[in-house]
Amino acid sequence: MNTSMNTTLAEKAATPTFSIAMEERKVAAASSAKAIAEKLDFWYGTNQALKNINLRIAENHVTALIGPSGCGKSTFLRCFNRMHDLQADTKYSGSIMLHPENINLVAKEVDPIEVRMRIGMVFQKPNPFPKTVFENVAYGLRLRGFSGRTELAERVEKALRAAAIWDEVKDRMNESALALSGGQMQRVCIARALATEPEILLFDEPTSALDPIATAKIEELITELRQRVTVLIVTHNMQQAARVSDFTAFMYLGELVEVDATAKIFTNPSKKATEDYITGRYG
């Protein structure tokens, strides 16, 4: 199933022009897919928030989700780690296949905790726990049963370095993470997510609560992160999507309107709605 799908995608992607086919939106010519959403619907109660989403997430690339408020981009993002399961009366249908094992992330029989063990998330508001910097980053490791002091310390340092925050906090490891600045907190949260080596890292408007300098640091970090992890980012800021992402998907009213290479979306979108949005005509 997996291999056959990859082959078809590779074949279609081999054609030079980016035709935005209805069923399969192929975006990455060179890279393999890390996850593929197919016919994904989602309901809050009786309110359908996502309608027939088909999207291929390219491995080790950054995919941005853009669109006006209420278009369902955060809702879509939160399907990947089953955050909706925390709320009563929510329903998924369709699939998000995680490759290479071909696990349907939104299937009822798949344990959301297992899903979250493999897919990390960084939130809009920096949300470190009321613990020390060290314990924040070690949190996921401890949940996964790590307890050796040296091994924990090594992994925490590695994660903090990867999140470009090590130099700023290496002498403050035993201070409360809540004492850091907003930008530092957000990078500690990124380190916390990276420490457990997730396969996909979800960013839900990670810089909307930060100042421009902190934002620039996080953006630079995200572009570096793609070497080790597949990134999916929701952003309100189109410049940010243009700066950090390889692929951009435009969503509107719960539907995926268009997805393509970021450069193409921002210079020559195929759909009128996309063009209207990126030129600021609505949203």
Q: How far apart are CA 178 and CA 251, in angstroms?
A: 34
CB of 271 to another protein, least distance (A): 32
**Token representation of residue 71:** 């278009």
CB of 143 to another protein, least distance (A): 5
The answer to whether the Cα torsion of 97, 189, 250, 259 is positive or negative is negative
Is residue 222 within 8 Å of residue 169, measured between CB atoms?
no
Is residue 251 within 8 Å of residue 71, measured between CB atoms?
yes
CB of 126 to another protein, least distance (A): 9
For position 88 contacting another protein by CB under 8 A, the verdict is yes
Q: List Cβ neighbours of 3 (8 Å cut-off, separation of 6 or more).
A: none
What backbone torsions phi and psi does residue 80 show, to the nearest 5 degrees? Answer: -65, -35
CB of 144 to another protein, least distance (A): 7
Stretch that binds another protein, among 26-34, 140-148, 225-233, 235-243 (CB under 8 A): 140-148
Binding to another protein in span 4-23, by CB under 8 A: none
Ordered DSSP codes for 58-83: ETTSEEEEE-STTSSHHHHHHHHTTG
- Pick the closer one to another protein by CB: 75 or 262: 75
For position 125 contacting another protein by CB under 8 A, the verdict is yes
CB of 204 to another protein, least distance (A): 10
DSSP state, residue 32: P
CB of 130 to another protein, least distance (A): 4
Residues facing 234 on adjacent strands: 65, 204
- Pick the closer one to another protein by CB: 119 or 238: 119
Q: Which of 28, 83, 233, 273 lies at the binding interface for another protein (CB under 8 A)? A: 83
For position 66 contacting another protein by CB under 8 A, the verdict is no
CB of 71 to another protein, least distance (A): 21
| Dihedral, 55, 114, 122, 176 alpha carbons, nearest 10 | 180
DSSP state, residue 178: G
For position 43 contacting another protein by CB under 8 A, the verdict is no
For position 262 contacting another protein by CB under 8 A, the verdict is no
- Helix or strand holding residue 58 (H, E): strand 47-58
For position 145 contacting another protein by CB under 8 A, the verdict is no
**Token representation of residue 209:** 């609560």
Which residue is it, tokens 């086919």? 21
For position 103 contacting another protein by CB under 8 A, the verdict is no
Binding to another protein in span 172-211, by CB under 8 A: 176, 178, 189, 192-193, 196
Q: How far apart are CA 279 and CA 283, in angstroms?
A: 10
Binding site for another protein (CB under 8 A): 81, 83, 86, 88, 113-114, 116-117, 120-121, 123-125, 127-131, 139-140, 143-144, 176, 178, 189, 192-193, 196
